[in-house]
């Protein structure tokens, strides 16, 4: 019997989808930790990517975009931390291409099937000899070490595996990412990688990725800064054996839901691991004039330094939320706004509600803070994620290179 229910979607123990292999190692780009790795598909995979909007787009980011745009195909991605290869001029462009070629030669595949991703300090030339030696030492394993090799100021690896049924076949989606500071997508100082053994054509995958990123990674903020190296890349190698997914496929909604679950989980992981952060903040906006305005208001609130400082200090100052709403260009019923923090209504009809200040302050000590806003201007919604602003954030970024 054909199973098409979206209830087949499950968050599972970490595993790589069929036909994907990885490895990682220490190339000497940073002290005492893996800093180089790759992600390899058994066969060329359909691929899609989204990239930073920063004008100083780093050489590896530009190269990967160019490579994917050729035919929406990739078979491998080689990645490093410790050096962003950004603002490195002609030499940086050469080094990114050399890194791509070194991985392709090692794997005996075409260079146009290899993406490159780098993260770390901006403005320093890539130590190409170390990179090439490190790539030469990589193998094909099923370990999760590569998920740690891309970390910079992150406190932990960020991963998720989701499975679902497509054409009665098990399809696996596994994603990992890095990101902790310089996060104000489009997109963040983040690298995101999603692998799946589903069959889905590259152009279809690109459309799905672009749409889902707008609802997930582009709705997180830590500090209002956009990096030069951001990208999210998806590879789908078809090894699950399902019929190619299109909007007319009976199980396409199931795959879309599973895909969004992967990206939203990773987005929240980045927000919650913001540099120095002690709390994950989620803002849910209802009553928006349209979806775009709902997202705009949610992200403005979660990105407000006043709101972030308020949450860090446990100060139940709902005026900070109101000022954030008011500084947007969104439609707002000025006499009908409601605000709740952790389920406690603090504002009703744009005026103070009857609540216990001590009760709200107590909930602000929790690791998760949820702010719900109703603009009373329409029927659409928006959600964004961020974190509090702590003393530790300044400490980390005042000494980033040391």
Least confident of 36-50, 92-106, 274-288, 355-369: 274-288
Q: Is the CB of residue 253 less than 8 Å from the CB of residue 165?
A: no
Q: Yes or no: is domain 7-272 CATH 3.40.1390.10?
A: no
Distance in angstroms (rounded) separating the CA atoms of residues 122 and 76: 24
Q: What is the pLDDT of residue 226?
A: 55
Distance in angstroms (rounded) separating the CA atoms of residues 232 and 219: 14
Tell me if residue 360 falls in helix, strand or coil. Answer: helix
Count CB neighbours of 358 within 10 A.
8
126 vs 178, residue with greater confidence = 126
Q: Is the CB of residue 83 less than 8 Å from the CB of residue 56?
A: no
Find the largest Cα–Cα distance for the chain. 68
Asked whether residue 397 is marked as a ligand-binding residue, the answer is yes
Of the candidates 111, 27, 49, the residue with the CA atom closest to the CA atom of residue 76: 111
Report residue 184's pLDDT band, with 50, 70 and 90 as the boundaries.
Answer: very low
- 163 assigned to active site: no
The tokens describing 337, both together, are 């706004």
The tokens describing 305, both together, are 């330094």
Report residue 223's pLDDT band, with 50, 70 and 90 as the boundaries.
Answer: very low
Pick the catalytic residue: 64, 189, 212, 390? 189
- Angle at alpha carbon of residue 44, lines to 42 and 45, rounded to 5°: 100
Contacts of 60 (CB under 8 A, 6+ apart): 85, 96, 99, 116, 117, 118, 229
Flag whether pLDDT at 1 surpasses 90: no
Report residue 3's pLDDT band, with 50, 70 and 90 as the boundaries.
Answer: very low
Pairing of strands 20-25, 36-51: antiparallel
Tell me if residue 92 falls in helix, strand or coil. Answer: helix
Asked whether residue 22 is marked as a ligand-binding residue, the answer is no
Matching residue, tokens 């901006």: 122
Domain residue ranges of the chain, discontinuous segments joined by +: 7-272, 280-398
Q: Is the CB of residue 221 less than 8 Å from the CB of residue 181?
A: no
Instruction: Give me the percent of the chain exceeding a pLDDT of 70.
Output: 90
The 10s digit of each residue's pLDDT in 162-171 is 999 999 999 9
For domain 280-398, the CATH architecture is Roll (3.10)
Asked whether residue 86 is marked as a ligand-binding residue, the answer is no
Flag whether pLDDT at 225 surpasses 70: no
Kindly give the interhelix angle for 252-272 and 202-215, rounded to the nearest 10 degrees. Answer: 40
Asked whether residue 189 is marked as a ligand-binding residue, the answer is yes
Report residue 26's pLDDT band, with 50, 70 and 90 as the boundaries.
Answer: very high
Distance in angstroms (rounded) separating the CA atoms of residues 184 and 186: 6
């Amino acid at each position: 019997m054909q199973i098409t229910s979206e209830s087949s979607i499950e968050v599972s123990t970490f595993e790589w989808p069929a036909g994907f292999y990885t490895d990682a190692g220490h190339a000497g780009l940073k002290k005492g930790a893996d800093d180089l790795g790759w992600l390899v598909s058994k066969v060329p995979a359909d691929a899609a990517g989204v990239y930073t909007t920063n004008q100083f787009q780093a050489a590896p980011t530009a190269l990967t975009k160019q490579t994917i745009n050729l035919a929406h195909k990739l078979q491998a991605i080689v990645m490093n931390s410790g050096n962003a290869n950004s603002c490195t001029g002609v030499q940086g462009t050469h080094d990114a291409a050399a890194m791509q070629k070194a991985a392709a030669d090692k794997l005996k595949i075409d260079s146009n099937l290899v993406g490159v991703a780098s993260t770390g300090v901006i403005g320093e030339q890539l130590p190409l000899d170390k990179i090439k030696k490190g790539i030469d030492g990589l193998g094909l394993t099923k370990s999760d070490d590569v998920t740690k090799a891309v970390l910079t100021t992150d406190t932990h690896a960020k991963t998720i595996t989701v499975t679902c049924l497509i054409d009665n076949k098990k399809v696996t989606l596994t994603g990992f990412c890095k990101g902790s500071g310089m996060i104000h997508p489009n997109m963040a100082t983040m690298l995101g990688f999603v692998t799946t053994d589903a069959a889905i054509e590259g152009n279809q995958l690109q459309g799905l990725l672009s749409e889902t990123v707008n609802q997930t990674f582009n709705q997180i903020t830590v500090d209002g800064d956009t990096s030069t190296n951001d990208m999210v890349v998806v590879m789908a190698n078809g090894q699950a054996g399902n019929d190619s997914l299109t909007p007319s496929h009976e199980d396409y909604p199931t795959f879309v839901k599973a895909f969004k679950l992967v990206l939203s989980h990773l987005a929240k992981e980045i927000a919650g691991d913001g540099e120095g952060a002690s709390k994950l903040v989620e803002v849910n906006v209802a009553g928006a004039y349209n979806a775009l305005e709902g997202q705009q208001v949610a992200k403005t609130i979660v990105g407000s330094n006043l709101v972030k400082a308020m949450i860090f200090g446990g100060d139940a100052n709902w005026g900070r939320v109101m000022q954030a709403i008011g500084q947007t260009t969104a439609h707002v019923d000025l006499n009908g706004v409601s605000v709740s923090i952790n389920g406690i209504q603090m504002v009703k009809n744009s005026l103070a509600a009857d609540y216990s200040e001590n009760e709200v302050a107590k909930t602000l000590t929790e690791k998760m803070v949820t702010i719900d806003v109703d603009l009373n201007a329409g029927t659409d919604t928006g959600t964004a994620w961020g974190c509090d602003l702590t003393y530790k954030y300044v400490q980390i970024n005042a000494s980033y290179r040391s």
